[in-house]
């Protein structure tokens, strides 16, 4: 295989690539350069022209914005793509949306792990060109890396990704996404001594509205609840519909932020539920109760209430399975106690309305 031009490279990969790709061996099939250290990568980017710079976010969130600006300054023509874990998506969204002197800090992000061929496809789409592939690359279907992706194919890929992760009725994340995200964020919290709180809730008496006004009205109620729940939550919390009229919210320690007294708060994580999650859950319950169901028409009267259960890692369980079990138990207890309430796990006074 002939060496690529020393002044023009294709892809610069920055960080621990084992965290990003399912097939790291495929990287050798293209003229790529890999640097685990960000400072080394910036130096290399200043001396060579790359078509794409792909940055593995893991372990780099704290100072990533400044590093990306430096990469942009020394190699302004390169497309910068962030390779993020699911729990890093809020930060990735901010970095892609943020601008420095009218230029975005990053051009795009992908949720990892992914096949290297998909990254190549995404780069090809962004630059609307063709990445150079060595003649020595095998031509077999299983090893060939696509050089360019038509915009129509890219659109279909995005549609499939959306179907795989989103609930088609409410636009919230679906059960599969919530489960996998929760698993990953618990592992992250375990390493970082962080906390994760799971809220599981469903609509009280939704069957009544379905029976009286029809299932279309019931669907509109679910959509209305989804919009209100997202409005009440913080930007990095994850809201999903996990089936029927049942929803889940994953609250977790905000990335890139260390509030005053955080270490003291984390040390008491096994003794207390996070106050932010309690506050948001109760605010949502109150707001939903006040919302008039005008979508049912002039004759439609009534208010919507929910019952829910809150369980926290590491206080109430060490795995996502345990948290869901505990939250479901608290939800059932809230239902038995009269509905329109959210219960904590393991508190003498369970209702969060009395926990503040």
For 51-60, the pLDDT digits (tens) are: 999 999 976 6
* pLDDT at residue number 198: 94
What lies within 8 Å, CB to CB, of 116 at 6+ separation is 21, 22, 23, 24, 26, 27, 145
In percent, how much of the chain has pLDDT > 90? Answer: 32
Q: What pLDDT is stored for residue 5 in this prediction?
A: 42
Same domain, 155 and 197: no
pLDDT tens per residue across span 261-271:
334 344 344 44
Residue 86 has pLDDT above 80, yes or no: yes
- Please give the DSSP secondary-structure letter assigned to residue 299: T
Residue 53 sits in a domain of what CATH number? 3.40.50.2300
Q: Are 122 and 131 in contact (CB under 8 A)?
A: no
Q: Same domain for 205 and 323? A: yes
**pLDDT at residue 148 is higher than 50:** no
Per-residue confidence (pLDDT) for residue 295, from 0 to 100: 57
Q: How confident is the model at residue 74 (pLDDT cuts 50, 70, 90)?
A: very high
Q: Same domain for 213 and 301? A: yes
Q: Above 70 in pLDDT, residue 68? A: yes
Direct distance between the N- and C-terminal alpha carbons of the chain, in angstroms, rounded to an integer: 67
Q: What are phi and psi of 146, to 5 degrees?
A: -60, 140
Residue 313, Cβ neighbours under 10 Å: how many?
Answer: 25
Are 231 and 158 found together in one domain?
A: no
Helices 320-336 and 175-192 meet at what angle, rounded to 10?
120
Whether the pLDDT of residue 301 is over 60: the answer is no
pLDDT of residue 97: 80
Say whether both 44 and 94 belong to one domain. Answer: yes
Among the candidates 164, 190, 220, a domain finishes at 164
Residue 149 has pLDDT above 70, yes or no: no
Q: What share of the chain is helix, strand, coil (3-state, %, to 5)?
A: 45, 20, 35
Query: Would you say residue 154 lies in a domain?
Result: yes
CA distance 87 to 277: 17
Higher pLDDT, 350 or 333: 333
Reported as type and span, the H/E element at residue 319 is: none
Indicate if 146 and 196 belong to the same structural domain. Answer: no
0.85 exceeded by the pTM?
Answer: no
Q: Does residue 172 contact residue 222 with C-beta atoms inside 8 Å?
A: no
Summarised one tens digit per residue, pLDDT across range 273-291 is 578 888 888 888 888 877 7
For residues 225, 228, 233, 236, the Cα torsion angle rounded to the nearest 10 degrees is 80
Same domain, 208 and 309: yes
Q: Is residue 1 part of a domain?
A: no
Residue 190 lies in a domain: yes
Is 169 inside a domain boundary? no
- Give the residue numbers spanning the domain of 47: 8-164
Are 134 and 52 within one domain?
Answer: yes
Do 187 and 222 fall into the same domain? Answer: yes
Number of domains in the chain: 2
């Amino acid at each position: 295989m002939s060496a690529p031009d020393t002044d023009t490279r294709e892809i610069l990969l920055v960080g621990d690539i084992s965290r990003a790709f399912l097939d790291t061996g495929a990287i050798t099939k293209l003229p790529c350069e890999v640097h685990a250290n960000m400072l080394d990568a910036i130096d290399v980017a200043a001396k060579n022209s790359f078509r794409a710079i792909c940055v593995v976010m893991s372990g780099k969130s704290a100072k990533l914005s400044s590093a990306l600006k430096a990469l942009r300054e020394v190699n302004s023509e390169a497309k910068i793509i962030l390779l993020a874990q699911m729990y890093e998506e809020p930060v990735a969204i901010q970095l892609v949306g943020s601008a420095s002197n009218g230029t975005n800090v990053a051009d795009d992000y992908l949720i990892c792990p992914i096949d290297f061929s998909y990254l190549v496809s995404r780069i090809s789409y962004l630059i609307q060109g063709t990445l150079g592939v060595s003649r020595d690359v095998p031509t077999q279907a299983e090893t060939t890396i696509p050089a360019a992706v038509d915009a129509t194919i890219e659109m279909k890929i995005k549609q499939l990704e959306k179907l795989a992760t989103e609930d088609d009725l409410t636009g919230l994340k679906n059960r599969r996404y919530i489960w996998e995200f929760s698993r990953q964020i618990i592992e992250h919290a375990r390493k970082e001594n962080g906390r994760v709180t799971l809220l599981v809730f469903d609509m009280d008496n939704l069957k009544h509205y379905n029976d009286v006004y029809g299932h279309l009205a019931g669907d509109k109620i679910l959509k209305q609840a989804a919009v209100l729940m997202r409005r009440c939550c913080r930007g990095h919390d994850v809201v999903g519909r996990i089936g029927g009229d049942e929803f889940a919210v994953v609250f977790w320690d905000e990335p890139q932020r260390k509030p005053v007294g955080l270490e003291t708060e984390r040390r008491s994580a096994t003794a207390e539920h996070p106050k932010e999650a309690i506050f948001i859950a109760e605010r949502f319950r109150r707001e939903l109760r006040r919302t008039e169901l005008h979508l049912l028409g002039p004759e439609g009267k009534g208010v919507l209430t929910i019952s829910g259960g809150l369980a926290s890692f590491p206080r109430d369980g060490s795995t996502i399975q345990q948290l869901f079990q505990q939250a479901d138990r608290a939800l059932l207890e809230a239902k038995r106690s009269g509905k329109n309430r959210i219960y904590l796990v393991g508190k003498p006074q369970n209702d969060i309305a009395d926990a503040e």
